[in-house]
Amino acid sequence: MADEARWYVIHTYSGYENKVASNLEKTIDNRNLRDLIQDVRVPTETVTEIKDNKSREVERKIFPGYVLVKMILTDDTWYIVRNIRGCTGFVGPSSKPVPLTEDEVSRLGVEEKKVELNYAVGDSVSIIDGPLEGFIGTVEEIDIEKNRVRVTVSMFGRETPVELELAQAEPAE
């Protein structure tokens, strides 16, 4: 069916996300399917909760009732995932698995993509994507955590600061 591992969303009974993920991991290891089903994740976030004037860190599920699975879709992998106890099926029309798009994967923050920077603050860069494509500017600030770079571009005789993603700029020739 597919030759490349993609991210799929499976629906579970509410509260069974971690159980489904651990059962799926055990099944993958027992059947040596790590090359077909590569990753299983329950997306969580850490939230500070204040209760009775005491604050504590709590891990909450971002999507209760859902588990993300990175796998190569075959009849066997579909059957294995579909028949894990607590799994109600894949997300998609009539339970047919629909892979997440690259944009959805990046917005969910499931996979961290490492961007190698070949420019630094003060360097001259060319904007290679977006509405200012083709403009040349000077790097003012780089924020790797937020995947942002601030570039000052000369437009209509004025210096204008522009915020871009790291991959939208490259060193100017």
Half-sphere exposure of 97 (CA within 13 A, CB side): 27
Identify whether the C-beta of residue 124 lies closer than 8 Å to the C-beta of residue 170: no
CATH node for 6-108: 3.30.70.940
Q: What is the pLDDT of residue 2?
A: 56
pLDDT 10s digits, 78-111: 999 999 999 999 998 887 899 988 888 877 766 6
pLDDT 10s digits, 13-69: 989 999 999 999 999 999 999 999 999 998 888 888 888 878 888 888 888 999 999
pLDDT above 90 (res 10):
yes
The full set of domain ranges for the chain reads 6-108, 124-171
pLDDT above 70 (res 136):
yes
Backbone angles phi, psi at 74, to 5 degrees: -130, 175
CATH node for 124-171: 2.30.30.30
Q: What is the pLDDT of residue 3?
A: 72
pTM of the full predicted structure? 0.62
Q: What is the pLDDT of residue 124?
A: 93
Instruction: Round to whole Å and give the CA distance between 9 and 63.
Output: 10
